[in-house]
Structure 1
Amino acid sequence: MGNLDVDISDEQGPRFAWTLVDTVVISHSPHATDPDLVDLVVGTGVIEHSEAWPGAGPGTMPDAPRFALAEEDYRGERLLAALRNTRAWAQEWGVLVALDRFGREMGSHRVRLEVAEVTASVLGGPLVDITLADGGHDDRPSLGARRIWETWYQGFPTTPHQWASLDTRGRAEWLDLIRPHPGGEPDRTGGTHHLEGRFITDKPGFYCALGEALIGPGRWFGRRLDDLDDCLGGRHGVIGPFTLIWHDADVARNALNFTLDHGGKRTYFEEAVQLLESAGVTVVLR
């Protein structure tokens, strides 16, 4: 049944709400007193949203609670209709989520799906197997993403330069998976960071290497200059002043030797260095 939002109230109004996550019907039976109703037993995960209702602690259940679905998700009904008549099915948006072996989300892509075939399930009983076809969308993962997801599937990267052997598109896919600084502690300032420049042969490589130098493997410090500007403003793990020693800087100087669309005279390499220095970073090119 997907996710369901449930309001919990008493005679004075709503107290708090639940989101029932990935709800599955385990069993059902006729209601004891009303033949038009059905009693359901469901399995679900619960996210509680406390509303700080006056006089009640978070999540305090009323003595006579009333439960009401706050929002209905009609995708389930549309799917059932499609199973009865696949020609009536319109393309549906979905999200393909890649999980690592610990169940943590690595990344996601929006996809368009079509019901191609419905057959009796190999598991038997009233179940059916649904074959979904690609409805076509430009944001689908590249074939190179498989190799990257297989690397991240083993867990969060802990060693640097695992992206270095990838081509430009593969490095962009790697950037899709890297994570912001988890937060919860003040930004670090001061000290010296070493930027390994021999692999910075394109823009994605610059941001992969910079995130590793400042925060650590698999960490985010932007994927374009606007992002970098935001990250240098704080709340991303490190903030100026600090010293950045850029090793083999000529590799990036040659690879990023192009100007931006606004017609500026500085190259992308020079823009990046200027942006770092304007945020209080002492950049040492070697």
Structure 2
Amino acid sequence: MGSVSAGAGFKYSLASDDDGRDFWGFARDARGLFCVSEDGFRQVDLLGCVPSGGLLAALDHVGSHRARPGNADLALLDAEGVEMGSYFVNDVAPIAAEASALGAGLVDVTVQLWCDQMLPGSDRMWELLRTGQLNRKGLWHPLDQQGRRAWLSVALWSSEYRRRGKGADVAPGRVFVLDGQQVHDVDSFYCAIGEAVNGPGGYFGWNLDALHDCLRGGWGAAPPFTLEWRYAEVARSRLAKRRAVRGDPATLFELILHILAEHDVEVVLV
């Protein structure tokens, strides 16, 4: 991830996953990326595309089995063309192409592809990040359950980009403040702790195993540190679902406290 790149002005790029040297081109925009069909396949319009490599070669065979360049990495670019994050997409196959209204020499390419990582609603957070508007806490508060899950997925896929130029972890001993008033379910807990540790749009796990991994270091903060959990009783009442751990039932709230304590995090319940 560098500074201004050849992709400046484009939102997406594609490259072969099978051959890193086979770059498939840029696109100014896309329709259908975050729309899921019943069979998992998506029909995506890559708008204002500059096709090259395997994708360009496949356009000569649209309508035949030869129009299938294969698997790819689809990257999302910021305003300067720097990669913010990427998704692995399977079985990319162009099914139509026409001149684009977005600029001379550009092409609108319709492709079919399969991907289970691009959750509906993720495009909103990517756009906030791309335009520099992911700059204050609480932007995830109005989201519904599906929206919070999508928010967490983008927080994960963009975590390296958001921490570029920074060390892996802040100095030990920091105090992070988590707002339990906004914890309505387990996903909102992860949105809240990600934001508490890594700022707006931050990631610090999205399930219990991932929380364990983050607490081992390399994700913004490594123990020992202090977590000041405000409105903890509100969160406790909403994370009351029980799970069996080694045969003993415990609530999600209790499990989270146990994991934090296990990793030498001091939790102050306020």
Q: 1:114 aligns with which of 93, 96, 106?
A: 93
Q: Which of 1 and 2 has greater Rg?
A: 1
Which deviations, in whole Å up to 9, do the C-alpha atoms of 1:103-162 show, x marking residues without a partner?
2333333444332224577888xx7946324345444441x2232222222127331111
Larger relative contact order (Cα-Cα within 8 Å, sequence gap ≥ 6): 2
CA distance in 1 between counterparts of 2:254 and 2:146 reads 23
C-alpha change, 1:81 and 1:164, in structure 2 (3 Å) is: closer
Correspondence list, 1:1-286, <5 A: 22=23, 76=53, 80=57, 83-84=60-61, 86-89=63-66, 91=68, 92-111=70-89, 112-119=91-98, 129=107, 131-142=109-120, 144-155=121-132, 157-178=134-155, 179=159, 181-182=163-164, 183-184=166-167, 187-260=170-243, 264-286=248-270
CA contact (8 A) 2:172 2:221 kept: yes
TM (normalized to structure 1)?
0.62
Deviation at 1:187, TM superposition (A): 4.0
Give unmatched runs, 5+ long, in structure 2.
Answer: 1-13, 26-51
AA of the residue aligned to 1:281: V
CA distance in 2 between counterparts of 1:188 and 1:168 reads 33
Which deviations, in whole Å up to 9, do the C-alpha atoms of 1:24-83 show, x marking residues without a partner?
9xxxxxxxxxxxxxxxxxxxxxxxxxxxxxxxxxxxxxxxxxxxxxxxxxx946853552
Alignment RMSD, CA only? 3.5
Deviation at 1:188, TM superposition (A): 1.8
Deviation at 1:273, TM superposition (A): 0.7
Partner SS, residue 80 of structure 1: helix
Q: Percent same amino acid among aligned pairs?
A: 33
Count of matched residue pairs: 218
AA of the residue aligned to 2:230: H
Give unmatched runs, 5+ long, in structure 1.
Answer: 5-18, 25-74
TM (normalized to structure 2)?
0.65
Partner SS, residue 277 of structure 1: helix
Partner SS, residue 128 of structure 2: helix
